[in-house]
Chains A and B, each alone.
Chain A
Amino acid sequence: MSKKKIVGVTACSAGIAHTYMAAESLEKAGVAKGYDIKVETQGSIGVENKLTAQEIEAADVVILAVEINIDMTRFAGKRVLRVRAAEAIKNPEALIEKALNEAPIYGEKGTKAGVAKMGKTEEGGFFQHIMAGISYMIPMVIASGLILAIANVYAFQKDDAGRIVNWGFDTSTFMGDLMSNLFSVGQVGFLLMIPLFAGFVANSIAGKPAIAAAMIGTYIANDAEMLGAEAGGGFLAAILVAFAAGYLVKGLKKIPYPKIIQPIVPIMLLPLVSTLLISIFVLYVIGNPMASMMDFLYEGLTTLNENYAAAPVIVGIIIGAMVGFDLGGPINKTALVFGTAVFTDTVAKYGIEGANFVPQTATQAAISVAPLGIWLASILFKKKFSPTEKVSAHSAFGMGMVGVTEGAIPFAAQDPIRMIPAFVAGSAVAGGLAAGLGAKFYGGIGSPLGTFVGYIEQPIPFVTWIFSVMTGVLVTAVIIGFTKKKVE
C-alpha cells in the first residue's frame, strides 16, 4: 500500500499563533504515523507552504483546521474534514484518523463540511439571468438616458413671453444642431440597450453562442417597421426573446454532434441555427400579435374616449396605467400615440376650444411617474436598495425629470412582478388626477417640471400639475417601499 497523502490548511482568527501550532501539530502527527503530509498556513504573514492543485488532487483527504472563512472551491469533490484550529493542536493523531475514516466529500448537494454548509447553488434561475442582463445594460441606460435628457431640455422652444411654443430643435443654430444630434445619440443608446440586455440574459443561460440570436431577435422585436406593427415589443418582449434564445441554444448544445464538426458547433452552427429560428419566431409569431394588440388597444381607447368623454378621470386612469405598464413598450406607445392623435385630430376638427386634451394630458402626467417613483423610493427606503440600485435610481431621477420613462426599465426588468404594479398604480393616479382636475397639456415636457418647461393650462397654476404628478410618484414609491425585498 502506498503512503497515504494528506493535505491541510490551518488558519485562526488572529493568524498569529494557533495557525502555526496547528500546522506543526498536524505535520508532526502525520509524519509520526508514516503519512505524506503537507499543511498550508494562512496566517497574518500571508499564505505559506501553499498547496498546489496537483497536491490537492493527489491527496486522500483534506483537513481544514480553520476558524475563518477560506476559499473552499479548490477542494470541491475532495474528501474534506473541517474542524477548529484548536482541535488540530489538541489531538492531531485522532484528527488525522478521523479524517481518513469519516471525511465526507465536499461540494455534493447539501453536504456539510464542518461549519461551512455548501448547498450546490442552483444553476440558472430566472432572476439570476435577468440580473446578468441588467448589469450589462445599466451603464448604457445611464449614459444614453442622460444624454437624451440633456438634449430634451434644449428642445423646448420658447416665445418672447417665455412660453413653450414648440418642441423641436432649431438646427439653424449651432446649439440646436448639436442638441439635435445628441438627441439622436441618446436614441441610439435606447435602441441598443434592449438587445444588449437580451444578449447578456441569453449569455447567462447558454453562453456566447446564444448572444447572436437573442440580440438580433430582440432588435427585430423592437423594430416596428420590420414587424409591420405600430410599435416594438419593449423590454417585456426582450425578456421573452432572450429566454427563448437561451433555452433554444441550451437545448441545441445537448445534441451529440459528430466529432468532426464539434469545433464549429459553438462558433458557427449554434449561432446560425438559433438566430434563424429566433428571427423567424419573432417575425412571424410575435410580430402579428403585437400589431393586433396595438390595433385592439387603440380601438378600445377610441371607444372608451367616445363613450366616456364626460368622465375624464376614467380615461385618465386607464391611459396613465398603460404608460406605466411597459415603459416604452407597445402598450405605452399605444397610449402615447393615442393621446397625441386625439389631441391633433380634435384640434384640427374643432379648433383649440373644442380640442380633447384628456388622453394627452394623462399620458404626459404619467410619463415621469415610474422613474421618479423609483428615485423617491430609493430615498425613503434606503435599506431596500443596493449601492448599484441607488446609482440607477439617481439617474432615473434625471431621466424622470425630463419625461424619459425608460429610466425605470432596469428595475422593471429585474423584478417585474413587484415593480410593474407599483408603476401602473402610480401612473394611473397621476393620469386620473391630472385629467380629472381639468389640467390641459398643450405641449412641453411630461414631468413635474412640465409646469415650468411647457404650456399646461390648469385650474390652479403650477400647483395642479405638480400635485397630480407627485401624488402618482408618491403612490409608486410607497408601494415599492412595501413590496421590494430588503437588500441582503
Chain B
Amino acid sequence: MIFSSIEFLFFLPVVFAVYWLLRRHLRWQNLFVVVASYFFYGWWDWRFLFLIAFTSACSFGAGLWIDRNLSAGRTRQAHWISAANVVLNLGVLFVFKYYNFFAQSLSDAFTFLGHPLDLRPLSIVLPVGISFYTFQAIGYSIDVFKGKMPAVRDVVAFFAYVSFFPQLVAGPIERASNLIPQFGRQRTLTSDDALEGLRQMLWGFFKKMVVADTCAVPVVHVFSDPGLYSGSTVLLAVLLFHFQIYGDFSGYSDIAIGTARLFGIRLMRNFDVPYFSRNIAEYWRRWHISLSNWFRDYVYFPLGGSRLGNAKTVRNMLALFLLSGLWHGAAWTYVIWGGLHAVFTLASRFTGHGGKYAEVVAAGRLLPSWREVGQMLGMTLLLQIGWVFFRNATLHDALHYFSCMAVPSILTVPRFLGIANVNAIFALAFILIMMVTEWLHRERAHGLDFPSAVPGWVQGLFCAFLLALIYWFGVDDAAFIYFQF
C-alpha cells in the first residue's frame, strides 16, 4: 500500500482506532501492529510476507542464541552465529536484488576476456523495501552480539520492530535499541503528539504528492531523451531531479515519522535539511541519516574509521560509499554515484574543506552570509554530478547526458516540450515554497514545526494552503522512488 493512495486514507483511521482500543493489552496491541503491517505490505504482494517473516524469525532466533552463548562466555560461538545471521540475511538480499546484476557483470567480463560464460538471470521480482528491513534485522543481531542491547524475548515485539508499517518499505532504518523498547512498554498519545504527527504527515504529503510528483514529469521527459533539449534544459532537469528525490524520499520519511507518532512511537529523524549543507561531510550527516549511521556503525567504524592513517581512511571511506551506492541499486551507475561521493568527501577532507559544522547554517539568523550562500550553491552543483549517474540506467546514458549538457545552448533559456514545460514551471513554484519553508524552520524538527511565536491562525492558514495544493495538484498512487531500493 502506498501512503498517497486512497486505500491508505481508509487503512490508517481503522488501524489507529483498533490500536488505541487495545491500549490496555500491550501484547495484543503489538500483535495488531504485526497484522496491520503485514496487511499493509501484503497489499502489494502477499507472497513476500513469507520473506519478511523468515528474516524476522532468523534474526529473532539468532539474537536469543547469541545471548545464550554470550551469557555462557562462549564469545566465539556468539560471533559465528551473528556472522551467520548477517550472511543469511545478505544472502537473501543478494538473491533477490543483486544476483542478476553480478551474473550479468561476470558474463560480460568473461565474454570481454574471450571466455564466454553463460550465467542465466533469475526471473524474480524485487521485493519492495527489502534493503530496509534486511538492514534493520542485521543491525539487531550485531547490536546483541556487541552487547549494545539484550536479546528480545518477546517474539511479537520483535516482529513488530521489523515490520512496523510506517517505516517498513522505505525507512528510516531504525535501531533496535530505539524501537524495540518502545514496543515493550505502554504507549500513550497526547494531543500535542497527535497534532505534531498530523502536521509532519501533511508536510510529507506536500513534498511527495505536490513537489516530487510534479518534478517527475519534466524529469522523465528529459532523461528519456536528453538529446532533444537544449543544454540549459538538460541541466535544469537534473536540478529538478535533485528536488524530486528529496521531496520523494524525505516526504516519505516525514509521513512515516508523523504516522508513527500517531501510534505513540518515535522514529529517528532521517533528513535534516541536507540541501542547506556547507560541505559534503555535513550533507552526509543530514541526508538519509539512518542509512549513513548504519554504514558508519556497522561498516566504517569496524574497519577502523579514520583512526588508522590516511591510506586506511581512504580505503574505509571508499568501502563505505561504494557499498552505500550498491545498497541503492544493482547497477554500476549507483556504484559510480557512491564512488563520486567518496572522492568528494576525501577531497574535502584532505584539502581542509571538510570542517565539522555543529549547527545548521546561519543558526540564529534569518539570512546566510555570502560565504554560506557560496558554499551551499557549490554543494548543490556537486550533487548534480552524482545525480546524473544516479538517475540514468547505464553508464553510457549518463555520459550521453553530460554530453547533452556540455553544448553552447547551456546558455539559453531552458525550455521543455509540451506539458512538461508547464509542469516545470509548477515544479519551480512548489520547490520555492518547500525550500523557503524549510529554510525558515531549518532549526526545527520538520517543515511545519512552527515556532511558538507564529500565531495559530497563520499556522492554520498555511496548513490549509498546503492541503489545498495537495487536493488540487497532488498526484495520488505514484510510487515512491526509494521503494525500489
Task: Tell whether A pairs with B.
Answer: no
Q: Which residues of A are interface residues toward B (Cβ below 8 A)?
A: none
